[in-house]
Amino acid sequence: MATRKEVAELAGVSEATVSRVFNDVGPLKEETKRKVLEAAQRLGYHPNAIAQSFALGRSGNIGVVLPHMPKVHLFSAYYFAEILSGIGEALREQGRDMLVLLRSPDETPDYAQLYHSRKVDACIVLGARDVPHQLEALRTLKAEGMPFCLVNQRYDGEGFSYVDADHVQGSYEATKHLIEQGYRRVGFMNGSPEYSNSRDRRQGYIKALTEAGLEAPEGGEFGGNYSRKSGYAASAHVWERRGALEAVVCANDRMALGLQQGLRERGWLAGRDIAIVGYDDSDAARLSDPPLTSVAVPFYEMGRKAALHLLDAAKRTGDAAAEPFAEVLLTKLVVRGSSRLM
């Protein structure tokens, strides 16, 4: 196996310069980098990852914090699977590793300890809620200058970095589509208001109704927890109000599909007796019967962009490292049979 000394001799540089090239430390001439990398390739030299981590004072890992929810298969859920795939691909391209960390959403997370123990160099936080203990933990990270990013969640006024989707516009377009189809009594099923994306979706729903001179039907807003089970449970309430509701916009596909199933069992079909629109444009939306109209959210790209932004931030020092970034991606309505009268 080739050594760093042999690479240095072949490239005509010092061993310290070889280390600087592979650790990406300090300014280096492009010609010097080229010579070192060509020499390394010819000799088959591969630096020891552990040694690199000690030299840089870094782990080489980007942490991805997920909420630990017993009996919920997070990695098979479309939302988490797409975001994690985007993060993983970006990190792979940059030669970094992903460390998945599960934390109970009801406990105060000690994010800072992950950095202090050198387990991670930066963190991407998924499933964060707007509750005091989580907010305080994120404020601690910001105060200590630890690079982190939120995905699909933001805390207005806090100056945290985030990558999000335009959920106000997405929900607006979904509701507007139903109104343009002739529906006037349009209900709404949302997730917890502890998530900024839930609040955004309701804002878009109300905006579309207001522009059309309409109001939310009395008793026509339903709460869920983004699970199919909660959508199924809501079907009983929608059925009770079937004379007052013509359509329902749901804040994700899982709730929409649960609602669709529960109403089908009562003899009511989406696209015939009621219009239903989901949100996420998951694989299940395309396969349902009838296929579910849904708002496509670029979860994969959100994860990818979060990772790339964060890797860039982790390289900076001083005030530049603390500068927050924010990016909001577009959504797109995909119309299918569940929102059209048969």
Residue 308 maps to which CATH number?
Answer: 3.40.50.2300
pLDDT of residue 256: 98
Q: Alpha-carbon torsion 267, 272, 275, 281, what sign?
A: positive
Residue 57 has pLDDT above 70, yes or no: no
pLDDT above 90 as % of the chain: 60
The pLDDT of residue 88 is: 94
The model's pLDDT over 119-128, given as tens digits with 9 standing for 90+, comes to 888 899 999 9
The larger pLDDT score, comparing residue 179 to residue 95, is at 179
> Is 9 part of a structural domain of the chain?
no
Give me the pLDDT at residue 300, please. 97
**Is the domain of 67 the same as that of 149?**
yes
Q: What percent of the chain has a predicted confidence (pLDDT) above 70?
A: 89
Task: Provide the domain limits for residue 171.
Answer: 167-297+333-339
Residue 22: half-sphere exposure toward Cβ, Cα within 13 Å: 24
Whether residue 206 is contained in a domain is answered as yes
Q: 36 vs 86, which has greater pLDDT? A: 86
- 255-276 pLDDT, tens digit per residue, is 999 999 999 999 999 999 999 9
- The answer to whether residue 319 is domain-embedded is yes
Clarify whether residues 203 and 277 are in a common domain. Answer: yes
* 145 and 195 together in one domain: no
176 and 266 inside one domain: yes
Q: In the prediction, which pLDDT does 264 show?
A: 97
76 and 160 in a common domain: yes
pTM tops 0.95, yes or no = no
Sequence-distant (6+) residues with CB within 8 A of 119 are 59, 61, 63, 99
Q: How many domains does the chain have?
A: 2
Mean pLDDT of the region 313-339: 83
What is the maximum alpha-carbon separation in the chain?
84
Provide the pLDDT for residue 262.
Answer: 98
Residue 35 is assigned to a structural domain of this protein: no
Question: Is 46 part of a structural domain of the chain?
Answer: no
Note whether 186 and 288 are same-domain residues.
yes
In terms of domains, do 106 and 137 share one?
A: yes
Q: Are 179 and 212 in contact (CB under 8 A)?
A: yes
In this structure, are 158 and 271 located in the same domain? no
Whether residues 173 and 159 share a domain: the answer is no
Q: Report whether pLDDT(49) > 60.
A: no
Position 48 pLDDT exceeds 70: no
At 13, give phi and psi (nearest 5°): -130, 175
Q: Average pLDDT of 325-340?
A: 96
